[in-house]
């Protein structure tokens, strides 16, 4: 889930499932991140792993360029054998 923070940034919430051991036994707790800053984090009661509830990411909201048209398929076996290989999508 992403929520708009500003037009350029998004808040992405992490799942409450431990990324280390996969346990759903999760609590939340205030943890020190350094320089006296604390944040609410998920804490796995099985293995002790801690991770943030969410992250803020730079999310470019510009419209991507239109997709390039695909080349027409070959109409003969000769064209197919002479054509350069196409990149996989």
Range of the domain at 17: 2-60
Strand partners, 28: 42
Q: Could you give the CA distance from residue 27 to residue 44 in angstroms, rounded to a whole number?
A: 7
Higher pLDDT pick, 88 / 11: 11
Asked, for residue 45, whether it belongs to a domain, the answer is yes
**φ, ψ at 81 (rounded to 5°):** -75, -25
How would you class 42 by CB atoms within 10 Å of its CB: exposed for 0-12, middle for 13-18, buried for 19 or more?
A: buried
The pLDDT tens digits of the residues spanning 20-79 come to 999 999 999 998 888 888 889 999 999 999 999 998 887 766 666 777 777 777 666 665
Asked, for residue 85, whether it belongs to a domain, the answer is no
Asked, for residue 7, whether it belongs to a domain, the answer is yes
Asked, for residue 51, whether it belongs to a domain, the answer is yes
Looking at residue 46, what is its pLDDT? 94
Asked, for residue 41, whether it belongs to a domain, the answer is yes
Overall number of domains in the chain: 1
What pTM was estimated for this model as a whole?
Answer: 0.54
Asked, for residue 9, whether it belongs to a domain, the answer is yes
Looking at residue 44, what is its pLDDT? 94
């Amino acid at each position: 889930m992403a929520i708009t923070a500003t037009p350029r940034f998004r808040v992405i919430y992490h799942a409450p499932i431990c990324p280390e051991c996969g346990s759903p036994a999760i609590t939340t707790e205030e943890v020190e991140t350094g320089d006296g800053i604390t944040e609410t984090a998920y804490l796995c009661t099985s293995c002790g792993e801690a991770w943030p509830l969410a992250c803020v990411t730079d999310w470019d909201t510009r419209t991507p360029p239109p997709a390039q048209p695909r080349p027409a398929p070959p109409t003969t076996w000769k064209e197919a054998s002479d054509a350069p290989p196409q990149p996989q999508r």
